[in-house]
Amino acid sequence: MRYTFLLYSDPAMAAGMTEEDWAESKKVFGEYIGALQEAGVFIDTDWLHPAETATTITLAGGEKRVQDGPFAETKETLGGFFAIEVENLDQALAWAEKCPAVHYGKVEIRSSAMGSV
């Protein structure tokens, strides 16, 4: 069976991190990924830019609405994910617009922060 782990944390913690803290964090995550790979259960992972850099798109209600920021928590909850590789946010938005979920819910777009530190 395939499982998805969703990692939640307080962004305020990251704000106080030093270069050494980041190196340590990379090391422990690296070890964890290594352990998953060794066990043959690893599929994919990603580390995302902060929620405040998110863009949210919906076509629910028939009109396209693009919003700056993460989706505001209402009665909708996370129900799935797609990871895609494109050049920029415009291309990501174009694909998000084609995602079936956009017609009844919201799709939040976050870029990968891999390699940014």
Partner 1 sequence: MSRTDAQVRAEDVARAAYGKLIAMLASRTGDIIAAEDALADAFVAALKTWPERGIPDKPEAWLLTVAKNRRIDQARKDARLVITDEANDMADATAIEPEEAQLDDRLKLLFVCAHPALDEGIRTPLMLQTVLGLEAEQIAKAFLIKPTTMAQRLVRAKKKIKSAGIPFVVPESEAYPERMSAVLEAVYGAYAVDWLDGDGDLSHEAFFLSNILAELAPENPETLGLTALIGFIEARRDARLEGGVLVPVPEQDVDLWDSQLIERSVSILTQAALKRAPKTIPGRFQLEAAIQSVHAARSVTGKTDWRALSQLYQGLMHAYPSIGGAVSRAAVVAEDAGPAEGLKMLEVIDFDGLDTYQPYHAVRAHCLAELGRTAEAAEAYAMAISLCTDRPSKLWLERKIAGLREKMS
Q: Which is nearer to partner 1, 22 or 42 (CB)?
A: 22
Task: State how far the Cα of 17 lies from the Cα of 113, in Å rounded to an integer.
Answer: 16
- What 3-state DSSP class applies to 112? strand
Residue with tokens 């991190």: 17
The binder of partner 1 chosen from 49, 78, 95, 117 (CB under 8 A): 49
Task: State how far the Cα of 11 lies from the Cα of 93, in Å rounded to an integer.
Answer: 25
User: At its nearest, how many Å lie between partner 1 and the CB of residue 40?
Assistant: 33
Task: State how far the Cα of 115 lies from the Cα of 117, in Å rounded to an integer.
Answer: 6
Q: Which is nearer to partner 1, 30 or 69 (CB)?
A: 69
The binder of partner 1 chosen from 14, 66, 78, 84 (CB under 8 A): 66
- A 10 A CB-CB count for 55 gives 19
Q: Site residues for partner 1, window 15-44 (CB under 8 A)?
A: none
85 is a contact residue toward partner 1 (CB under 8 A): no
69 is a contact residue toward partner 1 (CB under 8 A): yes
Query: Which among 87, 51, 91 is positioned nearest to 72, based on CA atoms?
Result: 51
User: At its nearest, how many Å lie between partner 1 and the CB of residue 69?
Assistant: 7
Q: Which is nearer to partner 1, 1 or 116 (CB)?
A: 116
Task: State how far the Cα of 97 lies from the Cα of 111, in Å rounded to an integer.
Answer: 16
User: At its nearest, how many Å lie between partner 1 and the CB of residue 73?
Assistant: 18
